[in-house]
Amino acid sequence: MSDRPREAALELLRAVREDDAYANLVLPQILHGHGLTGRDAAFATELAYGTLRMRGWYDAVLAQCVNRPLEKVEPALLDILRLGTHQLLSMRVPDHAAVDSSCALARAHGAKPGGDARAGFVNAVLRKVAQHDTAAWADLVQGDRPDDDPEWLATRWSHPGWIVRALRSALGDRGGELAELLQADDTAARPALVARPGRMSPEELFDLPEVEPGRWSPLAGALVDGRPEQLACVREGRAGVQDEGSQLVALALARADVADDQGRWLDTCAGPGGKAALLDGLAREQGGRLVAVEQHPHRSALVERSFAPESDSVVITGDARLAPWGDELFDRVLVDAPCTGLGALRRRPESRWRRTPSDLAALGGLQRDLLRSALGAVKPGGVVAYVTCSPHLAETEFVVSDVLRDRDDVVLEDARALLPEVTDLGDGPTVQLWPHRHGTDGMFLALVRKKG
């Protein structure tokens, strides 16, 4: 194998660090730029994503092997050390190959002269890392801290401490599952597909040799080989890439009973269009029509392109807090609120290091305003699904309870009844899906009905 995969992985780490780039958006361009396909592309992806995901753990190991604080190490050199550590501790790469290739990267990148000195530093550090396997390093780093210590779990499973504490709170009396949840966050998720109603049947999707049925959603397929864009049905828009959790919350909204249903559906935060495309198909199956609202014009264009060619659904570019749909009342409303995305850490390897507790305060007001606006847009007897891809209580239960506290015209219904195929949904009435329990992103769903 050439070193182009390692060069590509290093380029991605630099883009995330220097440009605040989103790995999932930049990586395809980098792979193309390096001419990587097949096994080389898969190697580069695992190397880059795994290093980003496990950065905290690798830094804890490297701190034992470097004779100065890691913040004093040149950032580009630290990226190389992390890549080497991932190969040594988490990939089936021979020690000599991991060390030698990292030394070559050190010579090739960074300020000149000094390439040999940089390579010598990398060689010395990674040879220390290679002296122990992951289990032995865990014993050394843990010391006398108990197994359930949150700060130790944050280190070992490479999560910021504030996220670990928040997840423990969200788990409630099942806090003993915390380590299992963190490990699930550290496990790359297979791409999930959705057969979009009216455009492709689930049976057609499952007949593809690269796809097997999903676990919960009747529309879901799991991609077992290749990349989604290699499938004609995905390129043509008949199927989409969508986590099962996202499919389930849309199905729950579609399954809710509405008296005198007029088929008027509203998606208040529709970009980039994954759930909107599914709702468009579900609405058309029931003789309905979707109005999709997106604040940003470029994302509105993505939503419009996601609809079936024969669809009469419409896209409105505007701020959902200001009710750009006018005075119309709807039977079903989806509020897929902007959130920290802490439920999708397994799919977004760098996001755990990008988010901070201050994001919660910035998003909390927006989430409450969007839910209030949705309740104003639903007719008596209609339903609102408040959804986030985060299990953080400040973005889920607290938002719903705050908005509903002073209202006597709405009732919180048991959303679990709308997902009878899904097990282990807890006490309700809201639904919280979990990566470690359900194999989905950590989607939250509250179903609110306006009294008739």
Positions marked catalytic = 389
Closest CA to 393 of 342, 427, 440: 342
What is the rounded distance in angstroms from the CA atom of residue 90 to the CA atom of residue 304?
Answer: 42
Q: What is the DSSP letter of 385?
A: E
What is the rounded distance in angstroms from the CA atom of residue 158 to the CA atom of residue 180?
Answer: 13
- Kindly give the pairing relationship between strand 264-267 and strand 330-336: parallel
List Cα–Cα distances, 308 to 25, 201, 251, 271, 280, in angstroms.
24, 14, 18, 16, 8
Spell out the alpha helix ranges (H) of 20-160: 23-33, 38-53, 55-63, 75-90, 95-108, 115-129, 134-142, 150-156
Spell out the alpha helix ranges (H) of 315-357: 351-354
Terminal CA-CA length for the chain: 66
What is the rounded distance in angstroms from the CA atom of residue 267 to the CA atom of residue 386?
Answer: 11
The answer to whether residues 249 and 440 touch, using CB atoms and an 8 Å cutoff, is: no
- Kindly give the pairing relationship between strand 410-413 and strand 444-450: antiparallel
With H, G, I as helix, E, B as strand and everything else as coil, classify residue 296. Answer: coil
What is the rounded distance in angstroms from the CA atom of residue 202 to the CA atom of residue 3?
Answer: 41
Annotate 54-86 with DSSP letters as a single string. THHHHHHHHHTT-SS-GGGS-HHHHHHHHHHHH
Q: Can you give the C-alpha Rg of the chain in angstroms?
A: 24
Q: How big is the CA angle at 41 (ends 35 and 43), to the nearest 5 degrees?
A: 135
384 - beta bridge partners? 333, 448
The answer to whether residues 70 and 42 touch, using CB atoms and an 8 Å cutoff, is: no
Give the list of residues 6+ apart from residue 13 with CB closer than 8 angstroms, or none.
48, 51, 52, 79, 82, 83
What is the rounded distance in angstroms from the CA atom of residue 273 to the CA atom of residue 296?
Answer: 12
Helix (H) or strand (E) holding 333: strand 330-336
